[in-house]
A and B are shown apart, each in its own frame.
Chain A
Amino acid sequence: MTTTVHDRRRGALARAESRHALGFVSPALAGLALFTIVPVVLSIVMAFFDWPTFGDRKFVGFDNYIKLFTGSPDFWPALRNTAVFTVLYVPLSVILSLLLALSLHSRIRGRAVLRILFFIPVVTPMVANVLVWKMMLQPQGLFNGLSTSWFGVELPNFLADPQWAMMMVVIMSVWQGLGYNMLIFSAALEQLPESVLEAAKIDGARGLRMLWSVTLPLASPSIFFASIMTMISSLQVFAQPQLLTGGGPGNATQPLVQFIYNQGFKFQDMGLAAAAAWILFAIIIILTALQFGVQKKWVHYEH
């Protein structure tokens, strides 16, 4: 008898809690529905339409996807540029920031200040960072100025040469993003299990051997995490090339996201832009899944 009363009371309480929960979660749910789920569904639909910004839309089936791969002169170069950027940027950024985190890990004076210094370009507006680099990369700018007056060597016009322009977009991006991965690695290195490190020391591990066989394997989960996040963000690169080179010279540095932006908002072809965005999404998913697939080979988890 008492239990049933108790149960009924519990049932009432649970209902009350559910009601409250609905109140708490509804702003987030409404926002998510309107600003994420509706756009995602709409995007799937749009990709099958000839969808100008203004004017009549027409169902075209897979034409947008077909047009991307066969009839759009900028799409393949955009894919290639995104690939080149990612292949250059991810290893450079991960290795350099790991190196920095490792050297900041030991007893360095002013370590906290240094960390902040490296972190500043991460939090300043990308537009401002790019403007600074654009100034230095001018033919009469700092780099060429120093090179000609110190060594008498005339440097190429970085932003006007296709290969150099891409290199500079990569270098500028590495500079900008370095502090972020460095902090992730710093946090990971500080949390390494001390017992294991001490044990390795007793066994005589020192220097590079210690780094290669103990520290790096122990830190590999965070290296894996940082590589994936860096890869995803580099596949989405936009502001750096858009502002530094305008995607040029020609389309030599135009990445996929800038292609999407141009199709949608310059050429008013929203359907084609939506289709290209889904291609980008597919690439991100496939590459992330691949990385998860090979992680067993090199990522070492405790437990």
Chain B
Amino acid sequence: MSTELLDSPARPRPAGGATPRKAKAPRSVRTPRERLRLVVAHVFIYLAAAIFMAPLVYAFFSALKPNSEMFSMPPRLIGSEIRWSNFADVFAYGPFLRYILNSFFVAIAGTLVVLVVSTTAGYAFGRLRWKGRDAVFVLFLATLMVPQEVTVIPMFIVMQWLGWVDTYQALILPFAFTAFGTFLMRQFFRGIPFELEEAARVDGAGPLRSFLQIILPLAKPAVAVLAVFTFMSFWNSYLWPLIVTVDYDKLGTLPVGLATFSGLTGTRWDLQMAAAIISMIPTTVLVIALQKHLVKGISMAGLGGR
């Protein structure tokens, strides 16, 4: 008990936030009661995790079954044979590959636009002085209040006016200018000490050079967080692509394609499960690869919701 109190504040903490602090949690002598509590906690959380993951695990194994055994009684996890070919057959059914490529293209292009727009605007709001800056920023923030549902209907009309219905730019641009990214970058840029930039300015660097050579490299973590969350929201976006594209065979993104696909394949649940699993892979891989930044990203990005 006393060691707990004494050594935690005294010990120098490694830089970088809260996780190392927890990892260094003092190992006090545990009473049997405490040990029991810890065991119960483990049982509870692993049981919860198992129940929680069951749908995805079951879906994965269902994707490997022959379709005739999808709904066997009693239910079985593994069918009479393991059919990896289901995953290949998905691609023979309709333009599934096209959906995937469309989704990648739209998500990557959209993310790039968001990054350029948010970092430049965030720089102007966070680090440059100009007349009317604060008023314009308040206007930006105010638009965060408007839900997507209010804008989708008129946005479709705007797309009609521009002649953009059924085009890639309609999938990419309309939701690439939301104020959230700008807000996030502005907050981050403001935290960078002004002296760093001043030295460069004295040497005669203009705002553009100091933005590209000093501020952006320092903002890499924030840019990465914004990129990942933007990619995921484009990848998963459903309502807008459903509305603004008509020719799904050509322009369908994965979520829209998947919904159409399930209508197309009817009772081929094996193929639907395989398609669903395939569509889950990219963002799942992204999350696993970036798990360390996840909590930080959420507490940063959480401000804007999803």
Q: Which residues of A contact B (CB under 8 A)?
A: 14, 16-18, 20-25, 27-29, 31-32, 34-40, 42-43, 46, 100, 103-104, 106-109, 112, 114-121, 123-129, 131-133, 135-136, 138, 140-142, 145-146, 148-150, 175, 178, 180, 183-184, 186-188, 190-191, 194, 198, 202, 225, 229, 232-233, 236, 238-239, 243, 257, 260-261, 264-265, 270, 273-274, 277-278, 280-281, 284-285
A126 near B121 (CB under 8 angstroms)?
Answer: no
User: Are A190 and B18 closer than 8 Å at their CB atoms?
Assistant: yes
Contact between chains at B143 and A36 (CB < 8 Å): yes
Leading 9 A-B pairs by shortest Cβ distance:
A31-B177, A149-B74, A28-B121, A24-B124, A145-B75, A42-B154, A128-B276, A39-B154, A140-B71
Query: In the complex, are the beta carbons of B125 and A107 less than 8 A apart?
Result: no
Known: A35-B174, A36-B146. 12 other contacts (CB 8 A): A24-B211, A25-B124, A100-B48, A123-B236, A126-B255, A131-B272, A133-B55, A140-B73, A142-B75, A149-B74, A257-B149, A265-B156
5 contacts between A and B (CB under 8 A): A25-B136, A29-B136, A118-B52, A132-B55, A132-B58
- Could you say which residues of chain B place their CB within 8 Å of the CB of A38? 154, 158
Q: Does B131 contact A (CB under 8 A)?
A: yes
Q: Does A132 lie within 8 Å of B59, measured CB to CB?
A: yes
Contact A17 B287 (CB under 8 A): no
B82 at the interface (CB under 8 A from A): no
* Contacts between the two chains (Cβ within 8 Å), count: 290
A225 CB contacts on chain B under 8 angstroms: 302
Q: Which of A40, A116, A186, A270 contacts B151 (CB under 8 A)?
A: A40
Q: Shortest Cβ distance from A108 into chain B, in angstroms?
A: 6
Closest Cβ neighbor of A190 among chain B residues: B18
CB <8 Å contact, A21 and B130:
yes
Q: A128-B258, A133-B55, A146-B74 are in contact. Are A183 and B236 (CB under 8 A)?
A: no
Among B58, B140, B236, B275: residue with most chain A CB under 10 A: B236
Instruction: Return chain B residues, CB-CB under 8 Å to A40.
Output: 143, 146, 150-151, 154
By a CB distance below 8 angstroms, the chain B residues around A239 are 238-239
Cβ–Cβ contact A270 & B130, under 8 A = no
A250–B41 CA distance with the chains assembled, in angstroms: 44
From residue B47, how far is it (CB to closest CB) to chain A in Å? 11
Q: Is the interface of B mostly helix, strand, loop or mixed?
A: helix
User: Of B120, B151, B277, which contacts A43 at CB under 8 A?
Assistant: B151
Q: Is B117 an interface residue (CB 8 A)?
A: yes
Query: What distance in Å separates the Cβ of B208 from its nearest Cβ neighbour in chain A?
Result: 7
- In the bound complex, residues from chain B placing their C-beta under 8 Å from that of A114 are 45-46, 49
What residues on B are CB-neighbors of A27 within 8 Å?
116-117, 120-121
Please state if A126 and B5 are interface contacts (CB–CB under 8 Å): no
Closest-CB distance, B8 to chain A (whole angstroms): 7
Binary interface profile of B, 77-114, with partner A (CB < 8 Å = 1, else 0)? 00000000000000000000000000000000000000
Asked whether, in the complex, the Cβ of B177 is within 8 Å of the Cβ of A36, the reply is yes
Question: B272: which A residues are within 8 A, CB to CB?
Answer: 131, 135
A-side contacts of B280, CB under 8 Å: 120, 124-125, 128
Q: Is B305 a contact of A233 with CB atoms below 8 Å?
A: yes
Nearest residue, chain B, Cβ from A30: B177
* A126 engages B238 (CB within 8 Å): yes
Query: Judging by beta carbons under 8 Å apart, are B38 and A17 in contact?
Result: no
Tally B residues with Cβ within 8 Å of A.
105
B216 interface hit (Cβ, 8 Å)? no
Who on chain B is nearest to A272 by CB?
B153
Say how far B280's CB is from chain A's closest CB, in angstroms: 4
Given A24-B124, A145-B73, does the pair A126, B236 have CB atoms closer than 8 Å?
A: yes
- Docked complex Cα distance between A119 and B56 (Å): 12
Across the interface, do A109 and B151 meet the contact criterion of CB distance under 8 Å? no
Q: Which residues of A contact B157 (CB under 8 A)?
A: 39, 42, 46, 270
B284 touches A120 (CB 8 A): yes
Q: Are B38 and A24 in contact (CB under 8 A)?
A: no
B259 engages A184 (CB within 8 Å): no
> Shortest beta-carbon distance, B151 to chain A, in Å?
4
Minimal beta-carbon separation of A284 from chain B (angstroms): 6
Which parts of B280-295 form the interface with A (CB within 8 Å)? 280, 283-284, 286-288, 291, 294-295
Whether A124 lies near B284 (C-beta < 8 A) is: yes
Closest to A178 in B: B52
Q: How far is the CA of A46 from the CA of B150 in the complex (A)?
A: 11
Within 8 A of A (CB), among B211-255: 211, 232, 235-236, 238-239, 243, 254-255
A281 touches B146 (CB 8 A): yes
By a CB distance below 8 angstroms, the chain A residues around B153 are 43, 46, 260, 264, 270, 273-274, 277
CA of A277 to CA of B151, assembled, Å = 8
> What's the minimum C-beta distance from B136 to chain A, rounded to whole angstroms?
7
Task: Decide if A274 touches B154 in the complex (CB within 8 Å).
Answer: yes
A109:B42 contact, CB within 8 angstroms: yes
Q: B124, B273, B286: which contacts A21 (Cβ < 8 A)?
A: B124
Give every chain A residue within 8 A of B70 (Cβ-Cβ). 135
A277 near B150 (CB under 8 angstroms)? yes
Give the docked Cα–Cα distance between A106 and B40 (Å). Answer: 12
**A-contact 0/1 string along B14-28, CB 8 Å cutoff:** 000011011001000
Known: A128-B276, A281-B147. A32 touches B291 (CB 8 A): no
Q: Is the CB of B45 within 8 A of A104?
A: yes
Residue from B56, B140, B243 in contact with A121 in the complex, judged by beta carbons closer than 8 Å: B56
